[in-house]
A and B are shown apart, each in its own frame.
Chain A
Amino acid sequence: MAITYEAVKSLTADLYEWSLKRIPDDAKEALDRAAAAETNESARKVLSMMRRSADRAENTDRFVCSDSGVPVYFIKVGTQARFEGDVKRAISDGFAHLVETIQPPLLKHVTNPLTNERSYAGKDMPMVSWDMIDGADYIDITCAPKALGSGRWASLEIFSFPTLEEIEAYILDVIVKTAAQQCPPVTIGVGIGGTFDYCTKIAKLATLRPLGTPSSEPVLAAMEERLLKAVNKLGFGPMGTGGDTTALAIHIEYASGHGFTPVAVCFNCWINRRTRARLYNDGRIERIGGPWRRII
């Protein structure tokens, strides 16, 4: 028994499609909670429109948003996983197959940065990050398509031995600069420490945690709690209508590093695209979306 080319090809494509047509259950619940607590009437109207939009997409098998993003996957390979066929190529073949078959069809979002030409395929697409899991007889795949609005406001700065105060001031500053351009209420992912590349990766992974699950590190859990309150007092509100709901969650990850400390801040927009599944040696597929499991 082994994980086959065909299985990887169809699962990576399916994860993409699911992420476009259905927002995660925890995002629905967070929107409902926000709508119940929101004091601004326009904001409440926008939140309820968001829920209607998500429900109609789900019920009619259509996209929640037309910006279907570019394909981004995080894959962790179990050390006991066995493979049959070119499973790495299966991911790009799966995306190509999705482009040909998905209904409704996708817009061309894959952009050559040197010419701004758009297409369905391009250098390094899909973007896949690889990791390993000791002992597992499966591969664990997260699909998180990145759209323009949710992608372009991310930011990174490298500090030297910063205080928590400096880090928090920087995070708030990044959020103020976005000025509600990234379709709030957003999920904010923050990475602290590591190196330039590692810090951005953990910030991105932080946005993929089930909404509102606190960090297991008490210092960060407390930081998440106070920053979420502060962000929601900035007053941007859903789609910039004003109100109390600028962010649904802020998730922070950290890594040890040297004395230079990168801080990365990135966003997931209100539709919260992220799907995840495990594919086992015996061909079984386990969709993961329920209880929080660490993905880094």
Chain B
Amino acid sequence: MATHHLTLPVDVEAIRALRLGDLVTVDGEIVATGGLPTHKRIIEAMEGKRELPFPLEGAGFFHLPSYSRDTDQGFEIVYINPTTSTRFNPLMPKIIRHYGLRIVCGKGGLDAECARAMQEVGCVYLSILGGGATLHTDAIKEVTGVGWSDLVTHYRLVKMRVEDLGPLTVGIDAHGNNGYDQLESRARERLPALMEELRVARERAAAGGGSDPAA
């Protein structure tokens, strides 16, 4: 497991160098949203049906909704925290391919089709701590753009400059390795052995043997 420090925008070689389980800290400009309607609007923009508020080519795209408010000093982010990326599985492959995203970040991972799109364009999925609102929020240094202000604040498309965001964990690399799928299949493979261990423990408990100190 290696540790990396990435400054966005990032070139594809740096992304392809990342391996599953590596830790990554991020500096620079990221784009964030937590809304399904926002993803649908991005797809509409790809189809020429609406304008993007700012370009997404090669972006770090974060499933990181915020509580934000419009103040006299501008758009203020009070706190951010990730949302579950798998909710956007059906839309993400198109978005990843069209804009050549370099990073998608959120919690919970993405599916096999997304991992294929990421491999094609050179993009990784970074897992960010759920329940890390203070740490993530304190990494924001500046809000550099806000799009689609007609949406509720956590659905808007927000561009921000971050420093030392993370550590984030590489959950899907740019070589088609999906850590989430691997975890699930490994857990399934382990099930028969675990059921056998449970059977032995049940029999011992039924015989009044209590717990097994060696287990």
Residues in chain A near residue B67, CB distance under 8 A: 66, 104-107
Q: Count A-side interface residues using an 8 Å CB cutoff.
A: 57
Given A149-B84, A230-B198: A176 and B188 interface contact (C-beta under 8 Å)? yes
* A65 vs B81: C-alpha distance when bound (angstroms): 7
Which 7 residue pairs of A and B lie closest in terms of their CB atoms, listed nearest first?
A66-B81, A226-B201, A222-B205, A183-B130, A56-B134, A65-B131, A234-B187
Residue of B133, B134, B187 near A236 (CB, 8 A) is B187
Given A45-B167, A105-B67, A236-B183: A57 and B81 interface contact (C-beta under 8 Å)? no
- Contact digits for B69-85, partner A, Cβ 8 Å, 1 yes 0 no: 10000000011110110
Given A53-B132, A234-B194: A176 and B187 interface contact (C-beta under 8 Å)? yes
Given A49-B167, A66-B80, A234-B187: A227 and B131 interface contact (C-beta under 8 Å)? no
* Structural contact, A165 and B133, CB atoms closer than 8 A: no
* Structural contact, B134 and A118, CB atoms closer than 8 A: no
- Contact digits for A66-106, partner B, Cβ 8 Å, 1 yes 0 no: 11000000000000000000000000000000000000111
B190 touches A (CB below 8 Å): yes
A108 touches B (CB below 8 Å): yes
B65 touches A (CB below 8 Å): yes
A201 touches B (CB below 8 Å): no
Residues in chain A near residue B199, CB distance under 8 A: 165
- Contact digits for B84-119, partner A, Cβ 8 Å, 1 yes 0 no: 101000000000000000000001110000000000
- Which label, helix, strand, loop or mixed, suits the secondary structure of the A interface? helix
B197: nearest chain-A partner, CB-CB: A230
B9 touches A (CB below 8 Å): no
Residues in chain B near residue A108, CB distance under 8 A: 152
* Structural contact, A240 and B180, CB atoms closer than 8 A: yes
Residues in chain A near residue B184, CB distance under 8 A: 176, 179
Residue of A62, A106, A168 near B134 (CB, 8 A) is A62
* Structural contact, B187 and A63, CB atoms closer than 8 A: no
Residue of B79, B135, B198, B210 near A168 (CB, 8 A) is B198
Query: Which B residues are within 8 Å of any A CB, using their own CB?
Result: 1, 21, 23, 65-67, 69, 78-81, 83-84, 86, 107-109, 127, 129-135, 137-138, 152, 154, 167, 169, 171, 179-180, 183-184, 186-188, 190-191, 194-195, 197-199, 201-202, 205, 210-211, 215
Residues in chain B near residue A240, CB distance under 8 A: 108-109, 127, 171, 179-180, 183
A131 touches B (CB below 8 Å): no
* Structural contact, A50 and B194, CB atoms closer than 8 A: no
* A57 vs B134: C-alpha distance when bound (angstroms): 6
A270 touches B (CB below 8 Å): yes
A142 touches B (CB below 8 Å): no
* Structural contact, A176 and B191, CB atoms closer than 8 A: yes
Query: Which A residues are within 8 Å of any B CB, using their own CB?
Result: 41-42, 45-46, 49-50, 52-54, 56-57, 60, 62-67, 104-108, 118, 148-149, 164-165, 168-169, 172-173, 176, 179-181, 183, 219, 222-223, 225-227, 229-230, 233-237, 239-242, 269-271
- Can you list 13 residue pairs at the A/B interface with Cβ under 8 Å? A42-B1, A49-B132, A56-B138, A63-B134, A67-B81, A105-B78, A118-B152, A148-B84, A225-B211, A226-B211, A233-B194, A234-B194, A240-B127
* A67 vs B129: C-alpha distance when bound (angstroms): 13
* A149 vs B86: C-alpha distance when bound (angstroms): 11
* Structural contact, B131 and A235, CB atoms closer than 8 A: no
* A242 vs B180: C-alpha distance when bound (angstroms): 9
A234: nearest chain-B partner, CB-CB: B187
Given A65-B131, A172-B191: A181 and B86 interface contact (C-beta under 8 Å)? yes
Distance from A193 Cβ to chain B, minimum over Cβ atoms (Å) = 18
* Structural contact, B167 and A179, CB atoms closer than 8 A: no
* Structural contact, B197 and A239, CB atoms closer than 8 A: no
* A52 vs B167: C-alpha distance when bound (angstroms): 12
* Structural contact, B84 and A235, CB atoms closer than 8 A: no
Residue of B183, B190, B201, B210 with most chain A CB atoms under a 10 A cut-off: B183
Residues in chain B near residue A45, CB distance under 8 A: 23, 167
Residues in chain A near residue B66, CB distance under 8 A: 66
* A49 vs B134: C-alpha distance when bound (angstroms): 11
Distance from A257 Cβ to chain B, minimum over Cβ atoms (Å) = 21
* Structural contact, A42 and B169, CB atoms closer than 8 A: yes
* Structural contact, A66 and B134, CB atoms closer than 8 A: no
Residues in chain B near residue A269, CB distance under 8 A: 130-131
* A111 vs B67: C-alpha distance when bound (angstroms): 17
Kindly list 14 other residue pairs between chains A and B, CB separation below 8 angstroms, not including A236-B183, A240-B171, A269-B131: A46-B169, A49-B129, A50-B132, A62-B134, A105-B78, A165-B202, A173-B191, A180-B183, A181-B107, A226-B202, A235-B190, A239-B107, A269-B130, A270-B130
